[in-house]
Amino acid sequence: MGSIIDLEKYAKENKVPIISKDGLKFIVEYIKKHKVKNILEIGTAIGYSAINMAKVDDDIKITTIERNEKMYAEARKNIRKFSLEKRITLVLKDALEVNAVGQYDLIFIDAAKAQYINFFEKFKNNLTQNGVIITDNLNFHGLTKNPEEIQSKNLKALVKKINKYKEFLKNNQEFTTKFYEIGDGISISKRN
């Protein structure tokens, strides 16, 4: 049988960036309140967020995309431990190369930060009428607040990309986005 605590332990020991507890709680509340049934997740890692979202209700179905084979294998193992194979469909592929089919009440973007705008544009047409896109790590572990203090060039570029994504959301004519200082910074975008 699967144990959430074991997943958290594994993530900590192996430095897997799973969602924060507060962030997860926030998403779980959203799923309950809005009776979300179909979820698309970009960035599975070890399946921690997918498993937690699936556990909210027996009717929930999730498709989750992961490009890293090692993560994919770990997620598969974990999903099986929780007996969620029927409700969580795992896809091993770069999300930008996936031909997304189906309509989702919730799309959770939690993968490569530099690609956030591309993920958003690619999958926005797979939302149901009242569907939303939730994005994680908008504070990028607090780094987005003081980009000039960052030494590493790569990190600096990434932070710039995240800030660009935030601007993209703020200026978006099609979607209205609410930003929350919860966990590592979360947003909810809804079509106008």
Tell me which of ligand SAH, Mg ion, none is bound by residue 105, counting a contact when its beta carbon lies within the kind-specific cut-off of 5 to 8 angstroms: none
- Beta carbon of residue 96, minimum distance to ligand SAH (angstroms, whole number): 6
C-alpha distance from residue 51 to each of 48, 56, 84, 104, 173 (Å): 5, 9, 8, 17, 33
Q: Does 2 bind ligand SAH (CB under 6 A)?
A: no
Q: Which does 45 bind (CB under 5 to 8 A by kind): Mg ion, ligand SAH, none?
A: ligand SAH
From the list 31-39, 53-61, 67-75, 146-154, the region that binds ligand SAH by CB under 6 A is 67-75
136 is a site residue for Mg ion (CB under 5 A): yes
Distance CA 27, CA 119 (A): 19
Is-contact 88 47, C-beta < 8 A?
yes
Run of H or E including 107:
strand 104-109
DSSP code of residue 181 = -
**Does residue 71 bind ligand SAH (CB under 6 A)?**
yes
Report yes or no: 40 and 108 within 8 Å, Cβ to Cβ.
yes
Near ligand SAH by CB under 6 A: residue from 31, 39, 40, 43:
43
What is the Cα–Cα distance from 102 to 153, expressed in whole angstroms? 39
- Nearer to ligand SAH by Cβ, of 85 and 176: the residue is 85
If binding is defined by CB under 6 A, does position 74 make contact with ligand SAH?
no
Query: According to the binding rule CB under 6 A, does residue 39 interact with ligand SAH?
Result: no
CA atoms within 13 A on the CB side of 124: 15
How many residues bind to ligand SAH according to rule CB under 6 A? Answer: 19
Tokens 């144990």 map to which residue? 3
Q: Which residues bind ligand SAH (CB under 6 A)?
A: 17-19, 43, 45, 48-49, 65-68, 71, 94-96, 110-112, 115
